[in-house]
């Protein structure tokens, strides 16, 4: 019975190997496996780096909701990450001027230092990836991913964490 149901389902669905979400996840894993050793050397998780990187790109302190939208990390996970990064003294928490109940976060000097320390290694990894894929192909990939985003839309809520 199970075989018949599985067979019927597989006939009505595209092949698992042609699943766009799975293809994107596999591509993400292929890229991230090149960054993980560098992050481990600095005792950072991928998500912690994503938050530090987003903060370093911002021109001012960020509210948690803004960080969640920038990094695609759910609010519950982001809250834990922020506490961890604050305990590591890589970020600082401040009060919002217009809402004393709200918080905003920014990088500490130590946070800026670790981003500056990782940046050249990160760029080296990007250069290796570009060399392996080719400049034109990498640019094409960026364009295609931007088209996917533009045509399918950007999620208004954060995606669940990996």
135-153 tens-digit pLDDT: 999 999 999 999 999 999 9
Domain range 17-152, CATH architecture: Orthogonal Bundle (1.10)
pLDDT level of residue 158 (50, 70, 90 thresholds): very low
Write down how long the chain is.
162
Lowest-confidence segment of 7-11, 46-50, 91-95, 96-100 by average pLDDT: 7-11
* CA distances in angstroms from 116 to 31, 48, 137, listed in the order given: 21, 15, 28
Predicted pLDDT of residue 85: 97
89: left (phi over 0), alpha (psi -120 to 50) or beta: left
Q: First vs last Cα of the chain: how many Å apart? A: 34
Per mean pLDDT, which range of 10-24, 30-44, 72-86 is the poorest?
10-24
User: Which carries the bigger pLDDT value, residue 37 or residue 18?
Assistant: 37
Domain assignments of the chain as residue spans, ordered by start: 17-152
């Amino acid at each position: 019975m199970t075989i018949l149901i599985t067979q019927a389902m597989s006939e009505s669905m595209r092949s698992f190997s042609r699943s766009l979400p799975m293809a994107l996840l596999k591509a993400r894993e292929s890229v991230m496996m090149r960054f993980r050793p560098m992050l481990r050397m600095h005792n950072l998780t991928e998500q912690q780096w994503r938050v530090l990187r987003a903060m370093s790109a911002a021109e001012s302190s960020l509210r948690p909701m803004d960080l969640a939208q920038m990094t695609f990390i759910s609010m519950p996970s982001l809250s834990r990450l922020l506490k961890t990064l604050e305990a590591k003294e890589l970020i600082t928490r401040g009060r919002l001027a217009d809402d004393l109940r709200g918080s905003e976060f920014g990088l500490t000097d130590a946070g800026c230092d670790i981003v500056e320390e990782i940046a050249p290694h990160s760029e080296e990894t990007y250069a290796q990836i570009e060399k392996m894929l080719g400049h034109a192909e990498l640019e094409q990939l960026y364009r295609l991913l931007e088209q996917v985003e533009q045509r399918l839309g950007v999620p208004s809520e954060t995606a669940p964490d990996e």
